[in-house]
Amino acid sequence: MVVADPEAVNGSKFEGVETDSYALRIFQSTLNLLAHILIGIVVGVCIVFAFRNGLPLNMTNMHIVLCVIGYQLLMAEGILALCPHNSWTAGFRLVDKRRTHTILQIMGSVLAIVGSVLKMLDKSTNFNTLHGQFALVAMVFTTVSLVNGLTSLYAYELRKCIPGNFSKIPHIIFGVVAFVAALISLCYGFDYGFFKTWTGLNQHYGFAYAMMGMAAAFTFIIIVNPMITAFSKTVRMCN
Ligand code: HEM
């Protein structure tokens, strides 16, 4: 191969500009890969735990499967679908990224809400634990974000009645609050004795705490991009 300008190939010609943005891109792609791996571990372990006694599932195990697939798998992937560095949607057109996001969020919200309501109906006294209280916060914000998401989807058509950013910024904030509340509820779930005992070897519950750490890590990686978007949209709107 004949190279007219060898410097252009190794990037040194654009030192400081090309190299920096390339390094940042590698960093963002690596974080994206890490988020997918952590989602797989957390959701996978929860499903193995829920099926530990085989079928049929009791109500507690059923709510674990539905809530974890809803919040930590579908909603997480739904938020990631819009991220420019997300591996499996990077080649999609914007319109298809939005469609993917909408479908995943609707499916995730329905599963998570059904899982939560089933467990609520199974209990005689509701919201008497921190696990249940944070799950309620997640449910309320998920519902608001879902309704708000539809006005964001049709922001262009509704622009005469609602300025675009008026539905988009709250949609991002409500979605992030719902996702973080679901994480906190999940961590209180991991703190239950029966989960810690299942994971614990010789009464060492390190794995349950590692699960909390992994769930917190992927939640943080996932919410960074929408928070930057909400912040820059707010700054632009104020200027
Ligand atoms: C994001 C995931 C989860 C969500 C959104 C969720 C949601 C809920 C909800 C809404 C309730 C009913 C609360 C009430 O009516 O008082 C509940 C109860 C319960 N959940 Fe979960 N759950 C999740 C994960 C887990 C996990 C991973 C475990 C265990 C390993 C678990 C164990 C329990 C237990 C034992 C109860 C009954 C006691 C209580 O209300 O605190 N949950 N959950």
Beta bridge partners of 201: 204
Residue nearest to atom 42 of ligand 1 (CA): 189
Owning domain of residue 229 = 16-238
* 3-state secondary structure at position 204: strand
Does residue 89 lie in a domain region?
yes
How far apart CA 212 and CA 238 sit, in angstroms, is: 38
Tens of pLDDT, residues 105-164? 999 999 999 999 999 999 999 999 999 999 999 999 999 999 888 887 777 777 767 766
Read off the pLDDT band of 168 (50, 70, 90). Answer: confident
What is the position in ligand 1's atom list of the atom closest to the CA of 120? 15
Q: What pLDDT is stored for residue 154 in this prediction? A: 79
Who has greater pLDDT, 9 or 60?
60
Cβ of residue 60 lying under 6 Å from some atom of ligand 1: yes
Q: What pLDDT is stored for residue 1 in this prediction? A: 36
Look at the chain and report how many structural domains it folds into.
Answer: 1
Who has greater pLDDT, 220 or 1?
220
What is the position in ligand 1's atom list of the atom closest to the CA of 112? 5
Average pLDDT, the chain: 89
Cβ of residue 180 lying under 6 Å from some atom of ligand 1: no
Q: What pLDDT is stored for residue 202 in this prediction? A: 63
Does residue 7 lie in a domain region?
no
Does residue 6 lie in a domain region?
no
Query: Could you tell which of 57, 65, 74, 119 is best to mutate to test the pocket of ligand 1, judged by most ligand atoms within 8 Å of the CB?
Result: 119
Q: What pLDDT is stored for residue 10 in this prediction? A: 40
How far apart CA 39 and CA 50 sit, in angstroms, is: 16
Separation of 189 CA from ligand 1 center, angstroms? 6
Tens of pLDDT, residues 186-229? 999 999 999 999 987 667 788 999 999 999 999 999 999 999 99
Tens of pLDDT, residues 8-54? 434 333 344 455 689 999 999 999 999 999 999 999 999 999 999 99
Q: Residue 57 pLDDT more than 70?
A: yes
Separation of 208 CA from ligand 1 center, angstroms? 16
Q: What values do phi and psi take at 196, rounded to 5?
A: -65, -40
Separation of 148 CA from ligand 1 center, angstroms? 26
Query: Could you tell which of 131, 185, 198 is best to mutate to test the pocket of ligand 1, judged by most ligand atoms within 8 Å of the CB?
Result: 131
Does residue 2 lie in a domain region?
no
Q: What pLDDT is stored for residue 17 in this prediction? A: 43
Does residue 62 lie in a domain region?
yes
Does residue 11 lie in a domain region?
no
Residue nearest to atom 33 of ligand 1 (CA): 189
Question: In sequence order, which residues have a C-beta less than 8 Å from that of residue 149 and are 6 or more positions away?
Answer: 102, 105, 171, 175
Q: What pLDDT is stored for residue 71 in this prediction? A: 98
CATH number of the CATH domain containing 227:
1.20.120.1770
CB atoms within 10 A of CB 46: 24
Does residue 34 lie in a domain region?
yes
Q: What pLDDT is stored for residue 164 in this prediction? A: 64
Does residue 9 lie in a domain region?
no
Cβ of residue 109 lying under 6 Å from some atom of ligand 1: no
Cβ of residue 35 lying under 6 Å from some atom of ligand 1: no
Separation of 168 CA from ligand 1 center, angstroms? 30
Tens of pLDDT, residues 78-98? 999 999 989 999 999 999 999
* 3-state secondary structure at position 151: helix
